[in-house]
């Protein structure tokens, strides 16, 4: 086996569940993280010669648990670890059902209402899904240093408050649900369109998000849970058509719709119908309704942009965020022409959460290009390019910019 590639693959595949279970077993975020890292270091040393165990995750959990217990025994004189009790290894549950529920336990712990909203989202993305601080910061449109402080603060608050590591009972679930859904969707988005790197998609992250949503739907089959499932399924159905043979980004209007996964679309439309039958209609169900319009259209030209614009209006009333406003502006431009969309984008230009968002400048550049203002479009593309660190997006923006420059020659 090629050691580096295999260990890296296993880390991406197993680390979220291994960490979630180690937090349950050891009772502390930071200690569980250290124990997991030690377990993977042991795997790097042992597996190349001994072979990968039949059940890698169980091996990593048990190894991490032993390393964590050793750490607790060594550090119990420290005030930082005084709250920890050395667990009896034989008494903890490592059965498949317990391990399967650990990601949801961790998800609800990270989204506990004792934490501020920004702390809940940042902690879950970082600790549960293994995103880097930079990836979390990009997803939330914040600075990495700010996110790092929030994550540290959230861990400390959970520890000091003695928050229990559990799935809440039925009475507390509705209060905790919105933040949990938001986090799941942010994880999906990071997998569907990575914020950095050479690849546009990370299938494992998207799959992790959809598995969490499926587990949550079994626990709480409410409209917005089903709406989120529908939204993710409908987006994921387009995955194969979003990249070319060389990994280049292909925008929605240029995608080969024959490559869309019709089975996924069918699943998504079924979930959407189930969500729409449960009132009130929430933001995820509205977004799924928008995705469904794209999925139903036989071609880009046949897309019902009038309905999509109306759905974005309804979404903006429910969720008046600058990103929703950006998407609404694009939909209005497709319905009423580029100048109508540009007017809405200009109204967002001074919003501090959007001014350094590369997709804002990319959308503005595209509308300026469609409107025939090549000079302004070039400047907007250059601004978007300066703010983009994902390589497929950079290559797409560079191609658009080169096409404009070629028209002037």
Cα 33 from Cα 30, distance rounded (Å): 5
Is the whole model's pTM more than 0.75, yes or no? yes
Short-list 302, 354, 352, 300, CA closest to 329: 354
> Looking at 195-204, 220-229, 336-345, which range is the least confident one?
195-204
Fold for domain 1-88?
Rna Polymerase Sigma Factor; Chain: A (1.10.1740)
pLDDT tens, position by position, 33-69: 899 999 999 998 898 888 888 888 889 999 999 999 8
244 Cβ contact list (under 8 Å, min separation 6) = 250
Residue 272 pLDDT more than 60?
yes
- Work out whether the CA dihedral 348, 125, 138, 33 comes out positive or negative: positive
pLDDT at 302: 96
Domain ranges of the chain: 1-88
Percent of the chain clearing pLDDT 70 (strictly above): 88
Nearest to 71 by CA among 102, 29, 104, 26: 26
Q: Which residues pair with 197 in a beta bridge?
A: 390
Of 67, 13, 58, the residue nearest 37 (C-alpha): 67
Of 182-186, 245-249, 355-359, the range with the highest mean pLDDT is 355-359
Q: CA–CA separation, 172 vs 113, rounded Å? A: 10
């Amino acid at each position: 086996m090629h050691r580096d590639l295999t260990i890296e693959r296993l880390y991406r595949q197993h680390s979220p569940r291994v960490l979630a279970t180690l937090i349950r077993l050891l009772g502390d975020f930071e200690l569980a993280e250290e124990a997991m890292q030690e377990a993977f270091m042991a795997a790097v040393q042992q597996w190349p010669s001994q072979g990968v165990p039949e059940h890698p995750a169980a091996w990593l959990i048990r190894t991490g648990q032993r390393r964590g217990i050793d750490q607790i025994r060594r550090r119990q004189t420290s005030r930082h670890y005084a709250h920890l009790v050395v667990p009896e290894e034989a008494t903890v549950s490592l059965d498949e059902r317990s391990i399967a529920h650990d990601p949801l336990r961790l998800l609800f712990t990270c989204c506990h209402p004792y934490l501020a909203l920004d702390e809940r989202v940042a902690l879950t993305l970082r600790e549960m899904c293994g995103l880097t601080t930079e990836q979390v910061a990009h997803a939330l449109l914040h600075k990495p240093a700010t996110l790092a402080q929030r994550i540290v603060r959230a861990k400390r608050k959970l520890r000091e408050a003695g928050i229990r590591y559990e799935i809440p009972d039925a009475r507390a679930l509705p209060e905790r649900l919105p933040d949990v859904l938001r986090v799941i969707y942010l994880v999906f988005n990071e997998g569907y369109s990575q914020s950095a790197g050479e690849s546009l998609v990370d299938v494992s992250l998207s799959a992790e998000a959809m598995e969490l949503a499926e587990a949550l739907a079994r626990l709480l089959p409410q409209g917005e849970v089903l709406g989120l499932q529908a939204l993710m399924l409908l987006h994921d159905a387009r995955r194969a058509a979003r990249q070319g043979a060389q990994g280049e980004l292909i925008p929605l209007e240029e995608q080969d719709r024959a490559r869309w996964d019709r089975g996924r679309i069918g699943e998504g439309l079924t979930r959407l119908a189930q969500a729409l039958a449960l009132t009130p209609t929430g933001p995820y169900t509205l977004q799924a309704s928008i995705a469904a319009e794209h999925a139903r259209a036989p071609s880009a030209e046949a897309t019902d942009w009038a309905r999509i614009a109306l759905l974005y209006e309804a979404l903006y009333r429910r969720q008046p965020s600058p990103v929703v406003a950006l998407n609404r502006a694009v939909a209005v431009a497709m319905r009423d022409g580029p100048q109508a969309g540009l007017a809405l984008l200009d109204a967002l230009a001074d919003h501090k959460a959007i001014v350094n968002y590369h997709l804002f400048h990319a959308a503005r550049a595209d509308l300026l290009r469609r409107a025939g203002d090549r000079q302004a479009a070039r400047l907007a593309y250059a601004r978007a390019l300066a703010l983009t660190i994902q390589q497929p997006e950079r290559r797409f923006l560079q191609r658009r910019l080169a096409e404009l420059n070629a028209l002037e020659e």
